[in-house]
Chain A
Amino acid sequence: MQNKNNRLEEPKSESKYRAKIRGSMQHRLDKYRERSNANIERGLARTINLKDYKSEFLSKDEPETVGRVFMNGLLLDNPVLFNALGAVLIVGVCSTVQNAVLLSLLVLVLLIVNEFMASLFYKNAPPEIRLMAHVLTAALVLLPAGAVAINANATALNSFGIYLPLLCVSGLVTVRSEVFAIKHTLKLSMADALGNGAGFAWVAILIGAARELLSFGSVAGYPITGKVFGAGINYPFATFLMIGFLAALLKHLRRRHYQKNADAQTPSEEVQSDD
């Protein structure tokens, strides 16, 4: 369908030899175009169908309420622990509680604005444009939000480094908008944004506190043990380990929760991601 529309127009005067060459070229071009279209579609499908949480965790008949959506974001479908969305931010940035709080506030703002825009305006846009729109929205929000944050705490924001601009292409913001917000009402999207923001926040603050305690001997700036346990805790690998074990723990709890609630609805097993 598309290929025929994209065909090069035939010039009126042309030798047979040239026509033959052009024909063969056209043939190949069509092939490549077809293949790349297929690739794009497949990639988009993969991004969009990243997690159809409804079919996996809840029976389809159950209505979605604000409370349930919020709880999903907070615990049962936590973006960091179950989908590894935004894990890179935690690994890269959350070395202290202060950083973690600042980061989760920024993420919360981005999530709210993005999902608001997505649920109101982007519903009818084609998927290729939608993804760009999410990123652009995030970038536009990050400019004023970042300025405010720098006024609040410049040293902490400086320690973000490259991760501050990377926030606007963070999987957490774009994927939640793409997966949830464009399919649901404004009310539910807001609940989802708040839930996911809170879910990200508690994981970030917990890991930030653990890292600060072990590597600096203090929590949120207040000295507790006063001595350094081991310098290695502040390296990324230790954070990955923490996320992995936290995810395993929460997955175990979630499985028990669902086994209690639903009869046969058990979430599928996933490979443990640690180390």
Chain B
Amino acid sequence: MKAITTSPPFIRTDNTPAAIMGRVLLCLTSLLICSSFYYGARMLVNAAVSVLCCIICEYAVSRMARLPNTVKDLSAVVTGLSIILLLPATTPLWLIALLACFAILIAKAPFGGLGHNPFNPSACAVAFATIGWPELMFKYPSVPQTLPLFSSDMSGVSFGTSVVESLRNFSLPPYRLSDIFFGAVPNKAGTGFFLVIFVCAAFLIMKKAIRWRITASCLAVFILIAFLFPRAGTGFTAVFYELFSGYILFAAVFMITDPATSAKSLPGQYIYGAFCAVLISVMRRYGVYAEGTCFAIIICNAVAPAIDRITVKTAGRRHVINAEQK
């Protein structure tokens, strides 16, 4: 028997987690399609493996915990898609399957599933991959080329250096600016299509599926840091290289704005975004790896509840003072 409200309000929106996740999923799918133009059908195979593993794990977990079927809220599909977009297209399929299972079985399910996970599952999976298999994670195929469909033997594939790595060596990337902007340089599979990401961000913000405050403050602070402390080039060129390299933009739109793990109070969201940007910049400059955004995201997720606690309390105190003054 279902519980029915006997206390107001008696009308509700038709908003569900599945609706919000569906909008994010739409954007991720558009990125997947873009990347499959560059890398061939291999990306679709990757996506199928990852999403299938995520769904199977999620379903198994929901059966084990005797919960209603939690696959329906689509969060597992979103996790699976964002994992493969954050890996190089040449990643072997067994690793993708392993990471998908890791994201669901270790980073998400033990804490209670959607909304109760302290860390972003896809960021956890990518961090795990970066630590465990760095030689696979930082080898980017040059674009465009058609990759082998299933085999993990990449002997016929040409590889190139990514923009992040040349920035790390304080040298100018050997690519044209337009190539960088349209993602036609070696990079993670689905994070180089900045034009599409901008459109997605606009769509998601308009539909209120993500928290624009986090994205805005993160990008603003990141641009400021890149402008003040350039690694290659000067002024706006440096900002261009920093912003359109690696997956900072993808993370700012899709990952740090994840409703379940980011800061929830409105003033806290600005602080959270700024903190993310600072950490990402620091990780890029002084970290062990060329791209440490996933570690920065995990640390930020851990800090988010504390930010909430501080900001909400100060907000409450301020109001009390106002009331007394009146």
Direct contact of A and B (CB under 8 A): yes
Closest chain-B Cβ to A250's Cβ sits at a distance in Å of: 15
Contacts of B124 in A (CB 8 A): 275
Contact A274 B131 (CB under 8 A): no
B119→A275 contact, CB < 8 A = yes
- Tell me, yes or no, whether A230 is within 8 Å of chain B by CB: yes
| Stretch in A65-73, A231-239, A254-262 with 4+ CB within 8 Å of B | A231-239
Within 8 Å CB of A26, what residues of B? none
Q: Which residue of A lies closest to B98 (CB)?
A: A230
Give every chain A residue within 8 A of B132 (Cβ-Cβ): 230-233
- Is the Cβ of A272 less than 8 Å from the Cβ of B131? no
Interface residues of B in 95-147 (CB under 8 A from A): 106-107, 110-111, 118-119, 124, 128, 131-134
24 residue pairs bridging A and B, Cβ less than 8 Å apart: A230-B132, A230-B133, A231-B131, A231-B133, A231-B134, A232-B128, A232-B131, A232-B132, A233-B132, A235-B131, A237-B131, A244-B110, A245-B106, A245-B110, A272-B110, A272-B111, A274-B106, A274-B110, A275-B106, A275-B107, A275-B110, A275-B118, A275-B119, A275-B124
The bracket for how many chain A residues form the interface is 10 to 19
Instruction: Report, nearest first, the 7 A-B pairs whose CB atoms are least far apart.
Output: A232-B132, A230-B132, A232-B131, A230-B133, A272-B110, A274-B110, A235-B131
Chain A 95-107 interface 0/1 with B at a Cβ cutoff of 8 Å (1 = within): 0000000000000
CA distance A231 to B110 in the complex (A): 24
List chain B positions with a Cβ less than 8 A from chain A: 106-107, 110-111, 118-119, 124, 128, 131-134
CB distance from A23 to the nearest CB of B (A): 37
A45 within 8 A of B: no
Residues of chain A with a CB closer than 8 A to B134's CB: 231
- Chain B binding surface, main DSSP class: helix
Which B residues are CB-close (under 8 A) to A237? 131
In chain B, what residue has the closest Cβ to A244? B110
C-alpha spacing A248/B106, complex, angstroms: 12
Residues of B within 8 A of A241 (CB): 106
